[in-house]
Amino acid sequence: MAHLSNPLATAEQLYQKTSDNSLPIEIQDGIRFYTARLTQAAGLLLRLGQDITAQANVLLFRYWLVDGFMNHEFSDVSASIIYLTAKISASPRSLRSITNVYAYLLSPSSPLNSKPESLKTAKPPNPESYYLSETRYITFRNRLLHIEGQILNALGFNTHVALPHPLAITYLQTLDVFSSSIRKGLGKEVAKRTIEYLNTALLSPQMLYLTHQPASLATAAIYLAAKDSGIKLPDVEWWEVFDCEREELGFLAVGMGSLEGIVRREVERWGEKGVISRSDVREELGRMGVGNGNKNGIRDSKEGEDEEAEMARMLDEKIPETS
């Protein structure tokens, strides 16, 4: 059964991480949500299976239980996680492909910076806004490889992630949701809604995948999907068959349904930003009156990275002169 379960974060780990980290809880939540959403978008553009992208987001949250948020740029951690997770899967992606995708998602042309309704009338993206020169690619690539090593070290090289998605389909079959006695197409609708809840939970800063086993996550998603679709499940306490207690089911149902409110809160805080960076966090901390971004343990390597970026820019500018 080991391949169906995950190593979970303990209450002590969660409390120690949030209490020792001088970033306010609401700032930590914003970092998790925006970075997980960036990882999801990158997975789509890289044409990775949802299982690979989901594993990447679980590893992302695990990593931040060990390492500090401000140690590396959030987008760099996301890119490194995607590279690592794809590399150990059946669908590896090259560093060139990953850096190009992230250059696009972090550019002004990124669809993450637009509202869904505005995408239909948006102007074609400007390729110059996300062009990645050879020098900047090398700098980006070296940074990602360095962070990959940091991630593996923090995780103790344990990259196993069991997902609840396959279990959810098996549970739906066990509950006879796809039976011919149920209105045609309703079973598929419930299954689709179940998977949507599981994918949405991956973006939740509540870290549900780190605190609950896949069986419980699958059960809660089925409960919510059935409720949304109006399908009648057994009158008995069927969730206990899937090793999920009533209290846990209630907690997960509330957690999975709360992301909309969290997103609304984050949009109010960050505006229409598609991605947030460490500089955004430092500015927000300044507005909140919480240190200056480098006190109380909030440290990062921004200065070193700025020097690298400036050096890459200068080298790029010299290329036309020497050609």
Of 260, 284, 300, the last residue of a domain is 260
pLDDT tens per residue across span 147-185: 999 999 999 999 999 999 999 999 999 998 887 556 667
Q: Is the pLDDT of residue 20 over 80?
A: no
The b/e string for 279-299 (b: 16+ C-beta within 10 A; e otherwise) is: ebbbebbeeeebeebeeeebe
Q: What is the residue range of 225's domain?
A: 165-260
CATH number, residue 181:
1.10.472
Higher pLDDT, 178 or 103: 103
Is 83 within a domain?
yes
Q: What is the DSSP letter of 282?
A: H
Q: How many structural domains are present in the chain?
A: 2
pLDDT tens per residue across span 233-277: 888 999 999 999 999 999 999 999 999 999 999 999 998 889 999
Is 66 within a domain?
yes
Q: Is the pLDDT of residue 313 over 80?
A: no
Share of the chain above pLDDT 70, in %: 83
Which amino acid makes up residue 81? I
Which amino acid makes up residue 194? T
Is there a contact between 279 and 305 (Cβ–Cβ < 8 Å)? no
Of 129, 161, 193, the last residue of a domain is 161
Q: What is the pTM of this model?
A: 0.87
Of 216, 241, 260, the last residue of a domain is 260
Rounded Cα distance between 276 and 140, Å, is: 18
Rounded Cα distance between 66 and 36, Å, is: 17
What is the mean pLDDT of the segment spanning 206-223? 96
Is 80 within a domain?
yes
Q: In this structure, are 89 and 212 located in the same domain?
A: no
Is 248 within a domain?
yes
Q: Is the pLDDT of residue 312 over 70?
A: no
Q: Among candidates 178, 241, 250, which has minimal Cα distance to 215?
A: 241
DSSP H stretches of helix in the chain: 11-20, 25-45, 50-66, 74-87, 95-105, 134-155, 165-174, 186-202, 208-211, 214-229, 246-256, 259-270, 278-288, 302-322
Task: Give how far Cα 195 sits from Cα of 50, 244, 245, Å.
Answer: 10, 18, 21
Is 222 within a domain?
yes
Q: In this structure, are 202 and 155 located in the same domain?
A: no
